[in-house]
Amino acid sequence: MLAAQIVNRNAAEHPNKSVYGVVISGTLWLFLKLDGQTLTIKPTEHTLTDLPAVLAILRQIVEHG
C-alpha cells in the first residue's frame, strides 16, 4: 500500500491521499485504508457467505474513494 501511495503521489496530476487494500486469506476478507501515514484496519472480518457486505464495501471504495 505504501508503494501504491508513493506511485500515486508521483504520477498523478491530482494524487489521492488514500490507498485502499484488501487482505484475503482464502476465506476471510479484511479491509484496510492508508491515509497519509495513518493505517486503518476495519475490525470486521468478512466471508464470502457475507457477499452482499463485501460487495457493498468494494462499491463504496470505488464510488467514494
Q: Where are the domains of the chain?
A: 2-64
pLDDT tens for the 65 residues of the chain, in order: 888 888 888 876 766 778 999 999 888 999 999 998 899 999 999 998 999 999 999 999 888 76
Whole-number Å distance between alpha carbons of 54 and 65 = 16
Helical ranges in the chain per DSSP H: 2-11, 51-64
In this prediction, residue 65 carries a pLDDT of: 67
pTM: predicted TM-score of the whole model, two decimal places: 0.77
In angstroms, what is the C-alpha Rg of the chain?
A: 13
In this prediction, residue 6 carries a pLDDT of: 83
Question: Is there a contact between 39 and 56 (Cβ–Cβ < 8 Å)?
Answer: no
Residue type (1 letter), 60: Q
